[in-house]
Amino acid sequence: MAVILLTNVDALWLAFLGYLLYHVGRKLGRRAAHKGLQARSKPPGPPGPPFVGNTYQIPRDRQWLKFDEWIKHYGACSRSIYSDRPQAVMAGELVGWDLGLGYAPGPHSPRFREFRRLFQQFMGPRAAQEPTLLAAQEKHATKLLYRLLIAPGNFMTHVRQSTGASILYLTYGYEVSDDVNEDPLVNIAEEAMQGFAHASDPGAYLVDTVPWLKYVPDWFPGATFKKDVKVMRRSRERLYDVPYDFVRRDMAKGAVPSSFVSSYIDEKGEPTLMEEELIKAAAASLYSGGADTTPSSLASFILVVTLYPEIQERAQAELDSLIGGSWQRLPSFADRPRLPYVEAIVLEVLRWNPSVPLGLAHRLSQDDVYNGYHFAKGTIFWANIWTMLHDEKVFPEPSKFMPDRFLDGNGRLRSLSRLEDPAVLGFGFGRRICPGMYFAHNSVFIAIARMLYVFNFSKTRDHVGNEITPEIEYGGFISHPRPFPCSISPRSKAMADLILHTLRIE
């Protein structure tokens, strides 16, 4: 009797081959079943090779420009049934970000609804205007001014770290140490965010297009993504656990300020394990949603005022006329209704280069026919926010930075529809719209208003005295300006003193 002995390697290869043949058969069967309908009504393109689809047609950077090209050629679609999330294999399933809001199944799942309830309660339109929340945002904007004052050359780092510090305080009641670079919680959070952005990048990992690759063993040729998973998952778990444990310890001592996490724990009394897992994920979602997007907007602002000094001068004139030349205080949220041009700058920053040009992927929750094309349930769509905010019919000369597009003939803010308002479109739409949009808009406004009031931004000069004009270049899933030179200096010694004075009293 012949006996066939299979090694572990042989068994894995046979399992892999069987799995592949099974799914190929299923796919071919579905194609045959729907051949008549799809032959008549499937979208005209862009065509892609079998199994991997359009994966290799998506560029590794500035994907929104390729998508914009396809939209112009093939058309667009928008319906409420496009609000589900696809199974994000790398970022969601393998790294574990599907525990949070961004990749949570929904929008009808109980978990999704509980996330939305929590965020609405803590940072909805009414909650975002709470005096204590606004005061905390003003305080962290002043800390940003201080960092720019003492080390202006590191402005890209400062806007990122200051935003992260603000979110850590509001989410966990955690005060970041003066030496931000050495703060353990900041380092944990930034490491997790780097992994989140890379794992979410369209086309970065083939496993998102060919999900069965997740079953291949670590040693399988080409399975280097498995090493990335281990690193990213560990950093995500630390972001979930370490700051939460900090809140629990300080609450036991009675020494923690009110925060998103402490408020939830107070509401629940003693949370169950399931409730603990939920609040950990919700808190991390707050951080992941804002820690890299708001810095993108602030870096865009610095780039703009460096390139266009006339915009800076006009905004400073508006601020000076309101606050006066005594330099007794910084701009505050109370001044906002009387700063229409500054507000218009904020809106144009959000429009000109949105921080998340493609948002996160959406999945069709049921079969649909749109503009005569048939889309099957489960089809994945990317909402090209960049294209919407550069629609020439809505925003004439969209590539130009023009705050006046949001003002009427009397210099007042125009009433904007949802399709005209970057403070809405820039944060998504439908049931998946960013729940932190009001908080983020406030953060960008107060930082920009205060930076404009105390600093001058200008081009740097080379060794012979010639001005260096920064290039307008962006990249990344969360779109940031490429590093650029900029000179930042206080408008006067009185302004520098005002920063130090405000830092002491806030």
- Name residues whose C-beta falls within 8 Å of residue 489's C-beta, 6 or more positions apart in sequence: 152, 455, 456, 458
Q: In the structure encoding, which two tokens stand for residue 333, read together?
A: 């949220």
In the prediction, which pLDDT does 378 show? 73
In the prediction, which pLDDT does 6 show? 30
Domain residue spans in the chain? Answer: 42-505
Q: In the structure encoding, which two tokens stand for residue 303, read together?
A: 């780039």
188-213 burial, b at 16+ Cβ within 10 Å, e below that, comes to bbbbbbebbbbbbbbbbbbbbbbeeb
**What are the mean pLDDT values of the chain's consecutive 10-residue runs (506 residues total)?**
33 43 47 46 59 56 60 54 61 89 72 86 90 95 97 95 93 87 87 88 82 88 90 96 94 86 90 92 89 94 98 97 84 98 98 86 73 75 85 94 96 91 85 86 98 98 93 87 96 95 92
What residues form the annotated binding site?
434
Contact, 377 vs 45, CB < 8 A? Answer: no
- What is the length of the chain? 506
Other beta carbons within 10 angstroms of residue 447's beta carbon come to 27
Please check whether the domain covering 42-505 is classified as CATH 1.10.630.10: yes
- Name residues whose C-beta falls within 8 Å of residue 38's C-beta, 6 or more positions apart in sequence: 31, 374
Name the strand (E) or helix (H) holding 481. Answer: strand 480-481
In the prediction, which pLDDT does 71 show? 61
Other beta carbons within 10 angstroms of residue 24's beta carbon come to 12
Please give the model's pTM, rounded to 2 decimal places. Answer: 0.82
In the prediction, which pLDDT does 44 show? 58
What residues form the annotated binding site for heme?
434
Could you report the per-residue pLDDT of 429-458, keeping only the tens digit for each? 777 788 889 999 999 999 999 999 999 999
In the prediction, which pLDDT does 64 show? 54
CA distance 292 to 163: 8
Q: What is the DSSP string of 80-112?
A: GGG-B----IIIIIITSGGGSSTT-S-SSSHHH
Give, in order, the Cα–Cα distances in Å from 262 to each of 100, 185, 270, 287: 18, 17, 11, 16
In the prediction, which pLDDT does 87 show? 63
Contact, 381 vs 362, CB < 8 A? Answer: yes
